[in-house]
Amino acid sequence: MKLELGEIHIQGFSFAEVSSLKGGHLQLSKSELEQYIRSLHPQITEVETAIVNPGDSVRIMPVKDVIEPRCKLDGGCCFPGFNPGEEEIVGSGKTLALKGIAVVTTGKVVGFQEGIIDMSGPGADYSPYSALRNLVLRIEVDEHCNQYQHEEVLRRVGLMTARWVADQVKTTPAESVAHFETLPLAEQLAQHPDLPSVGYVYMLQSQGLLHDSWYYGIDVKKMVPTLMFPTEAMDGAIVSGNCVSACDKNTTWSHQNNPVIQALYRRHGKDLNFIGVILTNENVTLSDKVRSSNMVAKLAEQMQLEGAIITEEGFGNPDADLMMNCCKLEAKGIRTVLLTDEYAGRGGESQSLADAHPAADAVVTAGNANALITLPPMQRVIGHPVYADMIAGGFDGSLHEDGSITVELQAITGATSELGVHTLSAHSG
């Protein structure tokens, strides 16, 4: 499967009477945009749109999702499975991505594990999305919507708006085009026989109660582990729909720009042979965890992997899935590296993971989500700051009278991304 990913880097972003792109400045028709959003679902009662830039004194909360505008240039669609007649396989052909901008959805809270994006101040250093020019959509829904319908509305609005934005400029030539290709399994293994064969075990949150991810429009708690071409993620085959703690929620943007996939492609043919992706879920019951991890190990053996990177989404219960995947691959002689984050207590005094195994001897941490931070007041808040006291990472008294907020890092969207979508690092003194 081969994908041509064209990129246009947006240098300026604003509203105007007519949508256009000139000199790197993207302008959107605010009236057409809001009319389009209202047409997406009959239970939408209120729409507020805003464009915010890095460095602005703006807080967005509670954040539901972040999506990069992308569209197909040669037929088909990004984000398949959410509209009738859009069930085709993605990951091939030509795709246009608008870099440097994103669509961010907010509104009254769907689940208690939504998060915060500060566009400036100390919180901005922890969220990768504060460096983007963001089209923020505050969407309110009919009071008769339950939380599942509410999540569906916000998810649909975010995905379809991201496509709409990219469609406005799809006739503009891309500034650069990157090519990504993964061959059928036998051909891929034969491509670089002298290099170690490496795969990626891609764990998706799927524990129900609004802890859901979507694959081709299917809730992944209904799936068993499966093989996936890496390029499918770039076209929106995987969509976030979950309310796990904001710090390690994999947004749709992070799936589209998965840095593990990008790094494996960069090293393919140099020091490793990137064979492909095993997509798997995170389960609730022990029997489901055992079954899924058994199937992951079987697929890894079938792919003839010598090494694998395993990424987690969430914490606590999913730590067991992470360790099961690790130890079963290691038992087959497949060396693993794990990406996770830690919940080690505010002072680092607690056990970092809920589960562990001696085979997990190569682990990359994205940081301690329990660390406390105070976010200063912002001149503008888009959304509902009152939820600061109830979102995961917040507590009674988190929201102060002056508008500042004291929370754990887990309340900041993307702060400890287990895909590595952040700019923070550690070094030895």
Q: Decide if 281 contacts 228 (C-beta within 8 A).
A: no
The reported pLDDT for the residue numbered 265 is 98
**Strand, coil or helix: 365:** strand
Q: Between 349 and 411, whose confidence is greater?
A: 411
- The length of the chain in residues reads 429
Q: Between 243 and 254, whose confidence is greater?
A: 254
The reported pLDDT for the residue numbered 426 is 64
pLDDT tens profile 93-140: 999 999 999 999 999 876 667 899 999 999 999 999 999 999 999 999
The reported pLDDT for the residue numbered 147 is 85
Catalytic positions, written as ranges? 243
- pTM equals 0.95
- Give the C-alpha distances (Å, rounded to integers) separating 105 from 25, 59, 136, 251: 22, 13, 6, 11
| Rounded Cα–Cα distance for residues 30 and 26 (Å) | 12
The reported pLDDT for the residue numbered 95 is 98
> What type of residue sits at position 393?
G
pLDDT surpassing 90 at residue 305: yes
Q: Decide if 5 contacts 98 (C-beta within 8 A).
A: no
What number of other Cβ atoms are within 10 A of residue 187's Cβ?
9
| Rounded Cα–Cα distance for residues 244 and 282 (Å) | 12
pLDDT surpassing 70 at residue 427: no
Compute the average pLDDT of residues 217-246: 93
The reported pLDDT for the residue numbered 148 is 86
pLDDT surpassing 70 at residue 428: no
Q: Calculate the average pLDDT of the chain.
A: 94
- Give the C-alpha distances (Å, rounded to integers) separating 41 from 17, 36, 47, 88, 399: 24, 10, 12, 23, 33
| Rounded Cα–Cα distance for residues 247 and 157 (Å) | 22
> What type of residue sits at position 416?
T
Compute the average pLDDT of residues 79-84: 93
The reported pLDDT for the residue numbered 206 is 87
pLDDT tens profile 360-402: 999 999 999 999 999 999 999 999 999 899 888 999 999 999 9
The reported pLDDT for the residue numbered 417 is 94
| Rounded Cα–Cα distance for residues 382 and 49 (Å) | 9
Percentage of the chain modeled with pLDDT above 70: 98
Which residues neighbour 172 within 8 Å (Cβ) at sequence distance 6 or greater?
Answer: 8, 21
pLDDT tens profile 10-67: 999 999 999 999 999 999 999 999 999 999 999 999 999 999 999 999 999 999 999 9
Q: For residue 71, which of 173, 167, 174, 176 has the smallest C-alpha distance?
A: 167
What does the block give as tokens for 216? Answer: 């081709």
Give the dihedral sign, CA 70/75/79/83: positive
Which residues neighbour 70 within 8 Å (Cβ) at sequence distance 6 or greater?
Answer: 78, 95, 96, 97, 98, 162, 163, 166, 234, 235, 236, 256
The reported pLDDT for the residue numbered 207 is 84
| Rounded Cα–Cα distance for residues 36 and 68 (Å) | 18
The reported pLDDT for the residue numbered 244 is 80
Q: Give the model's confidence band at 255: pLDDT under 50 very low, under 70 low, under 90 confident, else very high.
A: very high
Q: For residue 155, which of 107, 105, 205, 203 has the smallest C-alpha distance?
A: 105
